């Protein structure tokens, strides 16, 4: 067993030892362990000031929540249409689980993230989400009864427990602010992290230029004289600038410099202060795209492995924060989106509010299940299978 897996097992061993030691204060509900506490309530009270500021933020959050709910619902329906037409063959959503391995693994319907990355990502989702629920509850004069931690098998969680009776008696706009607050927090984390990585962190650690790791024998770069280990600093007279977008797309570095070029075009490449004239070939995977024939890595400021880990962790943080934000605000009861729908439905018709909420929830849940399972079923019954 490698050191990474051992570190995960060691952490889990300590975690379960702490749970056993504190077992008298832990509630067990089926497979769920719940530990309630008063810790953090005073902090929430302090953070909820000034209230006028948070009321403005909360009101903006309502509009963002309903926009994301609409956009997410439309996207689900469109994806379902593509599944029925056979245009897509993979599930429309994926479950993210921790892995004892240090590499990311993905397949149809699942993503496995290294355990320590996963813990950091979960913390970035849960802490702001629940803190915003608690802050907005106090802003709306709803008492927070407790805060706490959850554990579903090995999957951690957290919660802020507002006084349900006070929340039900609150004005509609107050309830909407409280329900929308969690997804608003995750949306803000996504916005902040994505822009910080794109425009601050990435430019600092990746100043520009690429190092040639491999040169495809008989390829265009090899024919022009480029060798492994060379540092490419210019293409067609312009400095090589690597973007975070290229990192995300997986299209390869220099894709930005070559996006307007075609197979057969000639380019000048400056490597190790020497100019090389290269006639581009055709990409083996897509003959319409230009091909240089190198494998490269970016020049990094500091340790390359540390920079890679940093970008992986931050990228997963904003991706999952956005995914959780959209999923949680979908109109499915008892998710926050379902709570928003129920609050609106009660205002329209208190008598039929539950029926309206459950009908909407059932409809969206049906689409979600279809988008997840239908691709598997269609592949199973297709003639090629």
For the chain, where are the E strands, in sequence order? 26-29, 32-37, 95-99, 105-107, 110-114, 144-152, 155-162, 210-215, 231-235, 238-239, 266-271, 274-279, 281-283, 286-291, 294-298
User: Are 144 and 284 part of one and the same domain?
Assistant: no
User: Are 20 and 145 part of one and the same domain?
Assistant: yes
Q: How many CB atoms lie within 10 A of CB 115?
A: 22
User: Are 35 and 124 part of one and the same domain?
Assistant: yes
Of 246, 272, 299, the residue at which a domain comes to its end is 299
Quick: pLDDT tens for 230-242: 999 998 888 888 8
User: Are 172 and 88 part of one and the same domain?
Assistant: yes
CATH number of the domain at 233, please. 2.30.42.10
User: Are 362 and 345 part of one and the same domain?
Assistant: yes
User: Are 338 and 370 part of one and the same domain?
Assistant: yes
133 pLDDT above the threshold of 60:
yes
The winner for highest mean pLDDT among 21-25, 285-289, 379-383 is: 21-25
Q: Is 291 helix (H, G, I), strand (E, B) or coil?
A: strand
Q: What is the DSSP string of 50-99?
A: SHHHHHHHHHHHHHHHHHHHHHHHHHHHHHHHHHHHTS--S-S--EEEEE
User: Are 165 and 221 part of one and the same domain?
Assistant: no
User: Are 248 and 315 part of one and the same domain?
Assistant: no
Beta-carbon contacts of residue 13 (< 8 Å; ≥ 6 apart): none
User: Are 348 and 295 part of one and the same domain?
Assistant: no
| CA–CA distance, 47 with 70 (Å, rounded to integer) | 31
Quick: pLDDT tens for 148-161: 988 877 678 888 99
User: Are 110 and 46 part of one and the same domain?
Assistant: yes
Contact 228, 213 (CB under 8 A): yes
Of 299, 316, 351, the residue at which a domain comes to its end is 299
| CA–CA distance, 379 with 385 (Å, rounded to integer) | 7
Buried b (16+ CB within 10 A) or exposed e, 66-85: bebbeebbeebeebbeebee
Quick: pLDDT tens for 26-38: 998 877 889 999 8
Of 267, 299, 331, the residue at which a domain comes to its end is 299
User: Are 246 and 311 part of one and the same domain?
Assistant: no
Number of domains in the chain: 2
The mean of the pLDDT values for the chain is 90
| pTM check: above 0.85 | yes
Domain assignment of residue 239, given as a range: 212-299
* pLDDT (average), residues 81-105: 86
User: Are 249 and 223 part of one and the same domain?
Assistant: yes
């Amino acid at each position: 067993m490698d050191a990474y897996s051992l570190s995960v097992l060691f952490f889990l061993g300590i975690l379960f030892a702490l749970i056993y030691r504190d077992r008298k204060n832990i509630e067990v509900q089926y497979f769920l362990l719940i530990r309630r506490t008063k810790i953090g309530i005073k902090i929430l009270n302090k953070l909820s000031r000034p209230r006028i500021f948070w009321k403005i933020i909360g009101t903006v959050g309502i509009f963002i929540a309903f926009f994301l709910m609409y956009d997410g619902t439309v996207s689900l329906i469109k994806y379902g249409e593509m599944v029925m037409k056979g245009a897509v063959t993979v599930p429309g959503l994926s479950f993210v689980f921790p892995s004892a391995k240090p590499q990311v693994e993905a397949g149809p319907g699942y993503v496995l993230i290294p355990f320590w990355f996963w813990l950091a990502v979960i913390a970035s989702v849960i802490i702001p989400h629940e803190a915003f629920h608690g802050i907005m509850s106090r802003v709306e004069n709803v008492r927070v009864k407790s805060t706490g931690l959850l554990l579903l098998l090995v999957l951690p969680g957290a919660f802020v427990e507002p006084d349900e009776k006070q929340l039900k008696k609150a004005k509609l706009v107050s309830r909407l602010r409280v329900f929308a607050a969690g997804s608003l927090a995750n949306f803000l984390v996504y916005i902040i992290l994505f822009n910080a990585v794109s425009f601050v962190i990435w430019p600092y650690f990746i100043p520009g230029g690429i190092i040639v790791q491999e040169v495809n024998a008989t390829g265009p770069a090899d024919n022009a004289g480029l060798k492994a280990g060379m540092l490419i600093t210019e293409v067609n007279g312009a400095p090589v600038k690597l973007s975070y977008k290229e990192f995300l797309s997986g299209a390869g570095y220099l894709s930005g410099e070559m996006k307007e070029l075609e197979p057969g075009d000639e380019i000048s490449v400056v490597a190790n202060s020497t100019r090389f004239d290269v006639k581009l070939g055709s990409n083996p995977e897509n003959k319409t795209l230009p091909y240089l024939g190198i494998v490269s890595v970016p020049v990094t400021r500091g340790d390359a492995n540390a920079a890679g880990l940093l970008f992986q962790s931050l990228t997963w943080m904003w991706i999952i924060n956005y995914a959780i934000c959209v999923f949680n605000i979908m109109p499915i009861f008892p998710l926050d989106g379902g709570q928003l729908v129920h609050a609106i439905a009660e205002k329209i018709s208190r008598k039929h509010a539950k029926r309206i909420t459950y009908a909407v929830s059932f409809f969206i849940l049906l689409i979600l299940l279809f988008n997840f399972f239908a691709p598997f079923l269609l592949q199973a019954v297709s003639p090629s299978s």
